[in-house]
Amino acid sequence: MALSKDHMLNIYRDMVLIRRFEEIIEKYSKNGTIPGFIHLSIGQEAAQAGVIDVLRETDYKFPDHRGHGAIVLASRPEDRKLIMAEIFGKKTGINGGRGGSMHINDLKVRNMGFNGIQGSTVVTSLGTAFASVYNQTDDVTVVFMGDGTLGEGTCHESMNMAATWKLPLIYVLINNQYAISTPYTESHPQKQLSDWGKGYNVPSMTVDGNDIEAVIEVTQSAVDRAKRGEGPTLIELMTYRWQGHFSGDPAAYRPEGELEKWKEKCPIKLAKEKLLNHFGVHESEITEIHNWVEKEINSYLEFSLASPNPSPQDSIKYVYTDVEVEGRS
Ligand SMILES: Cc1ncc(C[n+]2csc(CCOP(=O)(O)OP(=O)(O)O)c2C)c(N)n1
Ligand SMILES: [Mg+2]
């Protein structure tokens, strides 16, 4: 699919923004400022930016545990600093600092959040997809999942139902080669995980998840199909996470040279080469984008660092109901 020059520049900026966002998160996680576990998606930018690029604000999005990039890009620009503050656990965070990295929701833009249980959102996404049919809107639902998550029975039950009911649901399977330390080739019988969808009569395809144009094209065709009422699609995006499973995992299970090979296929590098060689973009325009991103990210960081922590009372709000419930005798 041929993107316009402006579209390509915009999506390049989006990818650089989420790369720098995560590099900052990594730094402040490693120095102990950010609490809890952090799962980074550095190297997977095209798989997140390309999918979100096709969606509207009213489409339902279910990010997964490695979803910072999709979450940031789905949010309104003025809210992006609130997302960083959330990951820092601050009171000003988009969920009051109660969620942190893995539980960020932003209902204004129909980011429905995650909950730490792999495969759970693949079930709940049926609900929003059904809501679109019931309410006769053409909003689609996109659920992100990983190669390991696809081993959960919930994913298979979900695909079976979505296909039977022809729900407007798009399964975005980010195949980054590993589930924690297990290569996907050791936990699935198929060579291509998209083959799983075929048994459920779900049109399924595998594409290069580091090629931003390919990701946009395949997502667009899945969205079009969903809007025509023809049902779900499974998209397998082949990519690689540069970091370990969580920030701090040395990833000793990776064969020597594998990371370097994938760095050659960096989605940002590939997009930059296309911009320079096929879109007639000048190096100075690229520099301008990087400068803009740097300023933007610094403003999120300053905001996050300057923000107060939630008070202990505030941080347990919504954990227990305030409503008195009559006990059963
Ligand atoms: C039901 C369930 N089982 C196990 C875990 C622990 N766990 C968290 S992430 C993960 C691996 C997920 O791998 P994949 O789906 O490939 O996503 P990736 O981490 O590679 O992005 C596991 C096993 C969990 N959170 N939930
Ligand atoms: Mg994986």
Residue listed under structure tokens 């995560």: 22
Q: How many angstroms separate the CA atoms of 57 and 16, rounded? A: 21
Q: Whose Cα sits closest to atom 13 in ligand 1?
A: 179
- State residue 271 phi and psi, 5-degree precision: -70, -40
- For the chain, the C-alpha Rg in angstroms (whole number) is 20
Ligand 1 atom closest to the Cα of residue 117 is 26
Regarding the beta carbon of 181 and ligand 1, being less than 6 Å apart is answered: no
Q: Can you give the pLDDT at residue 300?
A: 99
Q: Is the pLDDT of residue 311 over 70?
A: yes
Ligand 1 atom nearest the C-alpha of 119 is 1
Find, among 221, 193, 202, the residue nearest to 51 by Cα: 221
Q: Alpha helices of 203-266 — where are they, by DSSP H?
A: 212-227, 258-264
Query: Which residue's alpha carbon is at the smallest distance from atom 25 of ligand 1?
Result: 117
Give the pLDDT of residue 312: 87
Report the separation in Å between the CA atom of 264 and the middle of ligand 1, taken as the mean of its atom positions: 26
Ligand 1, atom 19: closest residue by C-alpha: 179
Which atom of ligand 1 is nearest to 64's Cα?
21
309: helix, strand or coil: coil
Q: Please write the tens of the pLDDT for every residue from 127-161.
A: 999 999 999 999 999 999 999 999 999 999 999 99
Is any ligand 1 atom within 6 A of the Cβ of residue 66?
Answer: yes
Average pLDDT of the chain is 96
Q: Does the pLDDT at position 306 exceed 80?
A: yes
Q: Is there a contact between 173 and 194 (Cβ–Cβ < 8 Å)?
A: yes
CB-based contacts of 175: which residues, under 8 Å, 6+ apart? 146, 147, 184, 193, 206, 209, 236, 237, 238, 239
Residue 328 has a pLDDT of: 63
Contact 106, 70 (CB under 8 A): no
Best CA proximity match to 97, nearest among 86, 110, 106: 86
Q: Are 126 and 162 in contact (CB under 8 A)?
A: yes
CA distance 66 to 102: 8
Q: Which residue type sits at 31?
A: N
Q: What is the structure's pLDDT at 1? A: 65
Average pLDDT over residues 44-51: 98
Contacts of 137 (CB under 8 A, 6+ apart): 58
Residue 291 identity (one-letter amino acid): N
Overall average pLDDT of the 160-180 stretch:
98
Task: Summarize the confidence of residues 292-315 as an average pLDDT.
Answer: 95
CATH topology of domain 5-308: Rossmann fold (3.40.50)
pLDDT digits (tens, 9 = 90+) for 268-298: 999 999 999 999 999 999 999 999 999 999 9
Mean pLDDT of the 304-318 span:
90
Report pLDDT digits (tens) over 228-245.
999 999 999 999 999 999
Assign 178 to helix, strand or coil: strand
Using DSSP, how many helices (H) and how many strands (E) does the chain show?
A: 12, 7
**pLDDT tens digit sequence for 91-121:** 999 999 999 999 999 999 999 999 999 999 9
